[in-house]
Structure 1
Amino acid sequence: MSGRNGTILVLPGGGYQLHAPHEAEPVAAWLEGLGWHARVVRYPVGVAHPAPLDAVRAAIAAEKATGEGPVGVIGFSAGGHLAGHAALAPDSAPDERADFAILAYPVVSMVSDPHPRSRAVLLGEDVGDEDATAVSLESLVRPDSPPVFVWHTTGDPVVPASHSLLLARALADAGVAHELHLFPGEVHGVGLAEDDPAAGWTAHAARWLEERAAPLLPERAQGVSVPDWSV
């Protein structure tokens, strides 16, 4: 059953090798508190592309089959890459595609300063640039891509903030509605970031969900003027 605002699928990070617990159920509980139905998707790990993406596509399609509202995704680190992939992949069927995405310190590019572990698990050690580009989020953005909210810390030592900047530039160039937040700190994998300088991301995301995602509900879509929060 969907919440009053629809459904958000939670994709925890872990370098495509595991699911970080603090980026799973605690995040779903936070979203439930905002009025969204949320559930954690434990996509397959330690396996090559497209298995993780196919699992999330299936989960999106199952939620959309209920017809009870938009279906978004939220992902962290490697889960952020997967969430972005679920929103941006050009070969997804309409019922497999996320309606919006929230990406937290995401892995974006598999070509430009890639996260080595995520790239190796997803694509193998000897992948060429053409195949790596095919799963790099910045190369998948199209003018009809869904809205995206992305945040990062400026000194992230694991996945550089340049990943989020690269994605934001691609979204801006394509005219896609999006919002980017950069927070001070040299941290990665902070989840909800309680007691951290990046803690403000949840308030920004909650407001963005209300202004950008909730109006996608059928009963709220007619006649709604949505502010342009593009960067």
Structure 2
Amino acid sequence: MNNYNFIRKLGCMLVLFSAVQCCCGQGIIKELPLYDGAIPGAKATTVKEQKGFDPEVDSLVYHVSVPTLEVFRPAYLPPGAPAVIICPGGGYHTLLINREGRSVAEAFNRKGIAAFVLKYRLPDDAYLTNKAMAPLMDAQQAILKVKQHAAKWGIDPHAIGIMGFSAGGHVAAMAGTHFDSVYVPHSGGISPRPDFMILINPVISFSDGTGHGGSRSNLLGAGITEDKIRFFSGEQQVTERTPPAFLAHAADDKVVPLANSMDLFAALKKNRVAAELHVYAFGDHGFLKNLPAFEQWFGSCIYWMQTSGWLKQAR
């Protein structure tokens, strides 16, 4: 074989190898029904799920009545790999399914972490018997489902966390503070308690001074009582058994006040729960202008997972 042909063949082999490597590094994506049988709390409806697009926030999903779990698993996971269940935000009226879901799941995959995007039900009396409880029910079911299939998916059943953005942060915080009561059909033996929480500009409180009024109104509707406000305010539900948490928030957030993260952080520290809070001077709500850059806050999150022992092998 002359040198020219050899170089050509070698080049083709390298291109093919690179393509295979790229493919293997991508997440294995599969969308699964969240519930194996009937969806608890659902009622017959003619309301259909809708998709939308906003140039600032990417793809949106509305009127979610059938919850799903999207599996993002890299071709290779190191032994004892953790997993993160991601709850996109959207004020309980939509889901930012790509920007605060799938894109983040792919970033976790690149770090050797399995990820799951939870398309939780959006509160609507048209298709839910108790719209206020449906997102928490779906979060609990997602945790139970990932734990039940941990061996099959090659992840550590004791290193399964939940992550949420904005109203999705409220869903995640509810899962982290109300795990003692199981609100979905459950055979027992597995706890719906997440092992850790990652909360990004989260809605935490439903109090008048701190809470996000839109999220509270969409979830609870009319007839809001003090008992409901207390139940759905995460900072009032923290105990010593609440999972460790990583929080990130912008000080100039005009939608969800910084006090949501600060009050939860204070409650966690009061109860001797390990927590880390990053406050950025600028970024407004959702870090929409990439300020801080994704690599900045996400890198801090990965470092927290490593130093906390959830991520045993750095990438």
- TM-score (normalised: structure 2): 0.64
After TM superposition, give the deviation of residue 86 of structure 1 in Å: 1.0
Deviation, structure 1 residue 110: 0.5
Flag the structure with higher strand content: 2
Higher relative contact order (CA 8 A, sep 6+): 1
**Contact persistence 1:105–1:188 (CA under 8 A):** yes
Residue 273 of structure 2 is aligned to residue 176 of structure 1: yes
1:10 aligns with 2:106: no
The offset of 1:186, in angstroms, is 5.0
* Aligned twin of 1:142: 239
1:211 aligns with 2:294: no
Alignment of 1:197 onto 2:292: yes
- Where 1:114 maps in the other structure, the secondary structure is coil
Amino acid at match of 2:257: P
Q: CA deviation at 1:162?
A: 0.7
Give the superposition deviation at 1:30: 0.8
For 1:101, the equivalent position in structure 2 comes to 197
| Aligned-partner SS, 2:191 | helix
What residue number does 1:71 align with?
A: 160
Residue of structure 2 equivalent to 1:185: 282
Match of 1:226 in 2: none
Give the Cα–Cα distance (whole angstroms) in 1 for the partners of residues 283 and 248 of structure 2.
Answer: 14
CA contact (8 A) 2:123 2:134 kept: no
Contact 1:103 1:150 in 2 (8 A): yes
CA contact (8 A) 2:89 2:100 kept: yes
How many pairs were matched up?
215
- 1:124 offset after TM fit, Å? 1.3
Deviation at residue 206 of structure 1 after TM alignment: 0.6
Please identify, of 123-132 and 54-63, the stretch whose mean Cα deviation from structure 2 is larger.
Answer: 123-132
Query: SS of the residue aligned with 2:119?
Result: coil
Counterpart contact for 2:123–2:132, Cα < 8 Å? no
Aligned match of 2:113: 36
Matched, 1:53 2:129: no
Equivalent-residue separation in structure 2 for 1:52 and 1:22 (angstroms): 19
Q: What secondary structure sits across from 1:63 in the alignment?
A: helix
CA distance in structure 1 between the partners assigned to 2:293 and 2:244 by the alignment: 22
**Unmatched tracts of structure 2, length 5 or more:** 1-70, 125-130, 183-189
Partner of 1:23: 100
- Cα distance in 2 for partners of 1:213, 1:120 equals 38
Given the two structures, how large is their TM-score scaled by the length of structure 1?
Answer: 0.86
How far has the Cα of 1:114 moved from its partner? 1.4
Deviation at residue 128 of structure 1 after TM alignment: 1.1
Q: Deviations over 1:198-218 (max 9, x none)?
A: 542111101011121526x8x
Identity of paired residues, percent? Answer: 33
Task: Show the counterpart of 1:81.
Answer: 170
Q: Where do 4+ consecutive residues of structure 1 move more than 3 Å?
A: 1-4
Structure-2 separation of matches of 1:198 and 1:136? 29
Deviation per CA, 1:130-172: give whole Å up to 9, x if none. 2111111001110111110001000100000011111011001
Alpha-carbon RMSD across the aligned residues, in angstroms, is 2.0
Report the more deviating stretch, 73-82 or 63-72.
63-72
Give secondary structure in 2 for the equivalent of 1:131. helix
